Amino acid sequence: MTHVRNAAMVLVAVLLVVAGVWASWGSAQHVLLAKGREHGTLTVTGCTDERCSGAYAPDDAGSPRRTLTVERSVAAGPGSVIPVVVKPGTDEGVRTGWGGGLHAWLPLGGALVLAAPLVAGGLRLRRTAWSLVGAGAGLWVAAFVAL
């Protein structure tokens, strides 16, 4: 019976981490695989609870200027100038650079922190659990500092 319980705990912990990677990849792929995508800067003109929008100025002079939106973060406010990469086929941008990359991986940090109690309590791997908490919290702090 112990093996079944351990297998269930491992399955749930892995499922949490995979869900964190899946949730992060939607934005992170545009930051990590930015070669060949449209780059520019976004001057934020207004923000809601979840999104900020503003005037987009592309790095390529031949591209049209337009209005883009980005996911809101603590560092975005009216007047901020943010380097972005445009998601293909949309009017949505993703922050680039270290700040954008770390911000995109925040769901993974949350998943690591959520998986830690399962690893510590269910699998009795306390050091591994502390490593998961440290990695997740480190990602949160690094994203906050980088933004």
The region of weakest confidence among 8-12, 34-38, 109-113 is: 34-38
Decide if pLDDT at 135 tops 90.
yes
pLDDT for 85: 93
- Report in angstroms the alpha-carbon separations of 140 from 24, 55, 105, 135, 136: 13, 28, 9, 9, 6
**pLDDT average, residue stretch 83-108:** 91
Q: Report the CATH architecture of 35-95.
A: Beta Barrel (2.40)
**pLDDT average, residue stretch 72-84:** 81
Q: What percentage of residues in the chain have a pLDDT greater than 70?
A: 99
**pLDDT average, residue stretch 61-90:** 84
Answer with the residue of higher pLDDT: 111 or 48: 111
What is the pTM for the complete model shown? 0.85
Mean pLDDT of the chain: 91
pLDDT for 74: 63
Residue 62 banded pLDDT, cuts 50, 70, 90: confident
Q: Which sequence spans correspond to the domains of the chain? A: 1-34+104-147, 35-95
**pLDDT average, residue stretch 46-74:** 85
**Per residue in 74-98, is it b (16+ CB within 10 Å) or e — as a string?**
eebeeebebebbbbeeeebbbbbbe
**pLDDT average, residue stretch 10-25:** 96
Question: What sign does the CA torsion over 76, 85, 19, 112 have?
Answer: negative
Decide if pLDDT at 73 tops 80.
no
Q: What is the H or E stretch that residue 26 is in?
A: helix 2-32
